Chain A
Amino acid sequence: MKLLVCIKQVPDLESRFKPDATGTWFSETDLAFRMNEYDEYAVEQAVRLREQLGDSCELTVLSIGPDRVVEAIKKALAMGCDNAAHIQDNAASSKDPWQIAATIAAYAKDKGFDIIFTGMQSQDRGSAQVGVTVAELLGIACTTTIVGFACDSGTITAKRELEGGIKGVVKLKTPALVTCQLGLNVPRYPTLPNIMKAKKKEIIAIPVGDLLKEEALAITASFHPPAKKGGGIVLEGDVADLVEKVIAILKDKTAVLR
């Protein structure tokens, strides 16, 4: 059985986001990067299946982006993926979900993957379109936001998280693609021997130009923080001063004391 897991490296959400020079995406200065949370669930589930199936199975991890994404790839390899494809694209952030999906589909189309795992969405762009579009382009079955997964002789049983706290159970014949949601599993922490082994695993680098032939369908016009509408003030200091400050604010901003 051949498995593929697609991951994205995203900025840590605690980072300080600022628009970049073009004003269409965020600047990468002062950002810390990590593997997209939902993709960690995807990797964990793929690795569990890989372990369940044993050596008859091969698990590939794929990521698109500049050289920094190799860090995320290494983590996936340390968690238990067998090999990796790094689709090199220094301008990955300017690609729309259609182009990303088309790139992945172009890579996967003649490889015969039985199951493809992706995250439910990315933490930065959050389109939630890439997984389903890949499945569509490859013409394989697909289910999204899974929180439970089992695979037995070519049939996947997946539990999906639906709206309003409702769960649904679906069965799919392989080949299929699933997108993974929080609650599916608890991703493992790579052990040191596996980190060491991962250093020797193969990472194939493919220039994005070899795979991507599609134009963008959606263009990002502007990336900017929303205008400030309101906010909180935390007052600190001596109680007497605090009283003064509160009264001043009440006078200034409200009609209570007028």
Chain B
Amino acid sequence: MEATRQIYWNMGHGVVIPMYILAFAAFGVLAWGFWQRLPIWRQGKALDRFDHYDERVKRMISEVFGQAKVFRVTEGGVFHSIFFWSFLILFAGTMLVMFQADFFTPVLKVNLLSGEFYKAFSLVLDIAGILAIVMLAGLFIRRFVTRPDGLEIVRDDYIVLQLLFAILITGFLIEGARMAATELQQNPALARFSPGGLLAGQLFTTLTPGTLLVTHKILWWLHFVLVLGFFCAVPYTKLRHILTTSANAFLAPFEAKGSIATINMEDDTVEQFGTATISDLSWKDIFDADACTSCKRCQERCPAYTTDKPLSPMKLIKQIGELAEGNPTGSLSETISQDAIWACTTCRACQDICPANIEHVNKILEMRRNLTLMEGAFPGDEVKTAVNNIEVNGNPFGLAFAARGDWAEGLQISVMEQDSDVDILYFVGCYASFDKRNQAIARNFITICNAAGVKVGILGKEEKCCGEPVRKLGNEYLYQMTAAENIELIKTYNVRKIVTTCPHCFNTLARDYKDLGLDIPVEHYTTYINTLLENNKLNLTPETFRYTYHDSCYLGRYMDIIEQPRSILTRAGGSITEMDKSGYDSFCCSAGGGRIIAEEKLGSKISEARIKMATDTGAPLLVSNCPFCMTMFEDGIKTGGAEDVLRVRDLAEIVAERIVA
């Protein structure tokens, strides 16, 4: 007997026309639902997210079908991904049946669904269906029984889970009913290729043939109506993410990570700087709210949220969505609260983990721009003082600008003003210039360069704050003023390469200054030292030590520099014990986003939380690569009572001690 089945068995071809009419009606409801969202998204400003078209399409296909971002977090992610692939197979199978019934058979007069292919088809679809049910059960238990912290239960969860269960179960029941009537007795060899149907079919074996046919018809229509319900529910429930989250994989930015729009300060027609209300956001910012699936991955990684500060990146995105829909002229800073807006350290953990490509950080920065530039607001008086200090003396400490190069006294180093013929310009930054603890980083970096025969120049008292902290606090005006002075100055010297010891200076000079006209290669000292080591310009005598390593946000997540510092430390003789949160999953020290100049008045201390993670590794040494992190950790070790068990040192200090003379 040939291995195939009769499509529309028991239903007859008479169902085709009503079926298509109803299906198109359901698609109409789906389209109408999204159409109604259009005016909400359109409240935002124009933004081109259709450039790089081919790459965007490729990215979308790979992210959606590959599920890598979903899978990255195994908790929940595994269930979702396997469910997705299973459901996709079922959907593709159904499509194939549709083409067979209404195209291949009537037009091409061929039957694909026969023979060995049909057996494989049956088996694959049944396995997919069973897997989908199992994964859905996993998701159900996760949502309603084990329920991880922060996972909300909303109306949609009941609707979506029940609907999907019902669709899958009724699917097997129809198959079972059909097989009970046509396959179980007649062709048991073929029935083995439909394990799900075979099992479901047992329910119907006692029915009379007439009852079986009626039951099958009822189940068929029920399944069909449920599937239509699924399509109708897409725009009105969380199921919308099937389209919006997928779309976001296409719409995600193509600029370098961390790019911030550089405001044109010459344009005096602009009356609103930053984001005060919904209409100041871009359409993509509003669309993001519809792409959010409330997976809470951002929230559970947020250093502010996890230390009891009033910021949840997820809630913030939801609040934007609620305002866009319900109160578009409402104040964002009042809805979200200034405390929440100021609490962000711009560590990018939220954005990095988001499977929906939502851009949290720049929304917060734009809201800060509104607070700072339009209202003259600050997170605290200490910040106002520091900002004034940067204006007057070019550093947040308010120390004399003329003392900026004093740390270099007695070192083999050129001040550019006197001798600008150097291999690298070392952009020292405020902390390594003025802060006693961090001056050690600068001195050690010079020791390393001297040993490698690299001639180093500094700007000395001519250097100013790179402007990063004030920019991240929203003060684009002051940022551009100080940046312009630095750029103009650097351009007067024939600089071939700039090296920084601060990841914040590094990001700013390497990426942000490009918008203002600086186009000189900029490197962080970790990659620079790594290259010196690889080229044998620098040699180390390994000396064994145990350590754990902190990936600063602006080196790791922002600049993808994760392996090189570890490789240097391995050469230096170090054996690492990683913290749970490392690499792209690293946990901020608390000093990013301009928080370095702000006091941490709310919740518990982020630096202490991170120090706890470091001491949990049992390693006696924490190695950092950033003056801000260094400052926070020195503080966190003291206030967190870890002085006896942990020391923090900079990578440059470790390397300098092991240089082969």
Given that A30-B461, A195-B477 are known contacts, is A14 also in contact with B400, CB under 8 Å in the complex? yes
With beta carbons under 8 angstroms apart, the residue of A12, A15, A33, A189 that contacts B376 is A189
In the assembled complex, how far is the CB of residue A188 from the closest CB belonging to chain B, in whole angstroms?
Answer: 5
Across the interface, do B392 and A192 meet the contact criterion of CB distance under 8 Å? no
How far in angstroms is the closest Cβ of chain B from A182? 13
CB-contact partner of B387 in A33, A34, A189, A195, under 8 A: A189
Contacts of B268 in A (CB 8 A): 196
CA distance A147 to B393 in the complex (A): 28
Q: Is B120 an interface residue (CB 8 A)?
A: no
Once bound together, how far apart are the Cα atoms of A196 and B263, in whole Å? 14
CA distance A141 to B615 in the complex (A): 67
In the bound complex, CA of A12 to CA of B389 (Å): 9
Residue-by-residue, is A188-217 near B (CB-CB < 8 Å gives 1, otherwise 0)? 111111011000000000000000000000
| Docked-complex contact B375 and A193, CB < 8 angstroms | no
**Chain A positions 31 through 62: 1 when the CB is less than 8 Å from some CB of chain B, otherwise 0:** 01110000000000000000000000000000
Residues of A within 8 A of B166 (CB): none
Q: CB within 8 A of B403: which of A16, A33, A34, A189?
A: A16
Q: Are A14 and B375 in contact (CB under 8 A)?
A: no
Q: For the complex, give the distance between the alpha carbons of A15 and B404 in Å.
A: 11
Closest CB in chain B relative to A200 CB, distance in Å: 8
Q: Which residue of B lies closest to A34 (CB)?
A: B392
State whether A14 touches B399 (Cβ < 8 A): yes
Q: From residue 99 to 157 of chain A, which have CB atoms closer than 8 A to chain B?
A: none
User: Which chain A residues lie closer than 8 Å to B461 at the CB level?
Assistant: 30
Residues B393 and A32 in contact, CB atoms below 8 Å apart: yes
Q: Which residues of A sit under 8 angstroms from B398, Cβ to Cβ? A: 12, 14
Write the B395-419 contact mask toward A (1 if CB under 8 angstroms, else 0). Answer: 0001111110000000000000000
- In the complex, chain B residues whose CB is within 8 Å of the CB of A14: 393, 398-400
A188 cross-chain contacts in B, Cβ below 8 A:
376
Give the total of B residues in contact with A, Cβ under 8 Å. Answer: 25
B373 at interface, CB cutoff 8 A: yes
The docked-state distance in angstroms from the alpha carbon of A32 to that of B403 is 12
Give the number of residue pairs across the A-B interface with Cβ within 8 Å: 48
Across the interface, do B374 and A191 meet the contact criterion of CB distance under 8 Å? yes
Q: What residues of chain B lie closer than 8 Å to A12, measured between beta carbons?
A: 392-393, 398, 400
Q: Whole-angstrom distance between the alpha carbons of A108 and B381 in the complex?
A: 35
B378 contacts partner chain A, Cβ-Cβ < 8 Å: yes
Residues of A within 8 A of B375 (CB): 191
Of all chain A residues, the one with the shortest Cβ separation from B272 is: A193
A46-82 vs B, CB cutoff 8 Å, 1 = contact: the mask equals: 0000000000000000000000000000000000000
* Cβ of B192 under 8 Å from chain A: no
Pick from A32, A190, A192: contact of B400, CB below 8 A. A32
Q: Which residue of B lies closest to A75 (CB)?
A: B391
Which residues of A sit under 8 angstroms from B402, Cβ to Cβ? 15-16, 30
Taking the complex as formed, is B221 at the interface, i.e. its CB lies under 8 A from any CB of chain A? Answer: no
Please report the C-alpha to C-alpha distance between residue A189 and residue B384 in the assembled complex, in whole angstroms.
8
Residue B27 CB within 8 A of the other chain: no
Q: Given A14-B400, A189-B376, A195-B477 in contact, is the A32-B392 Cβ separation under 8 Å? A: yes
Shortest CB-to-CB span from B395 to chain A, Å, is: 10
B393 touches A191 (CB 8 A): no
Query: For chain B residues 192-227, which have a beta carbon within 8 Å of chain A?
Result: none
CB-defined contacts of A195 to chain B, threshold 8 Å: 477
Binary contact readout A1-30 vs B (1 if CB under 8 angstroms, 0 otherwise): 000000000001011100000000000001
| A191 in contact with B392 (CB, 8 Å) | no
Nearest B-chain residue to A191, judged by Cβ: B376
- Complex formed: what's the CA distance from A192 to B272 in Å? 9
- Are the C-beta atoms of A192 and B393 separated by less than 8 Å? no
B118 within 8 A of A: no
Q: Which residues of B contact A191 (CB under 8 A)?
A: 373-376
- Residues of chain A from 153 to 204 with CB closer than 8 A to chain B in the complex: 186, 188-193, 195-196
**Which of the residues B374, B381, B399, B403 comes within 8 Å of A193, measured between beta carbons?**
B374
The answer to whether A32 and B373 touch across the interface, beta carbons within 8 angstroms, is no
Query: Whole-angstrom distance from the CB of B409 to the nearest CB of chain A?
Result: 14
**A33-B400 Cα distance, complex, nearest whole Å:** 11
Of B374, B381, B388, B400, the most chain A CB neighbours within 10 A belong to: B400
CA distance A193 to B403 in the complex (A): 34
**12 cross-chain CB contacts under 8 A:** A16-B400, A30-B402, A32-B392, A32-B400, A34-B391, A189-B376, A189-B384, A189-B387, A191-B375, A192-B476, A193-B273, A193-B374
List residues of chain A with CB under 8 Å of any chain B CB. Answer: 12, 14-16, 30, 32-34, 186, 188-193, 195-196
Known: A16-B402, A192-B477. 16 other contacts (CB 8 A): A12-B398, A14-B398, A15-B400, A15-B402, A30-B400, A30-B401, A32-B400, A189-B384, A189-B387, A191-B374, A191-B376, A192-B373, A192-B476, A193-B374, A195-B477, A196-B268
Q: Lowest 9 A-B CB distances belong to which pairs?
A: A30-B402, A189-B376, A192-B373, A34-B392, A15-B400, A32-B393, A32-B392, A14-B400, A191-B376
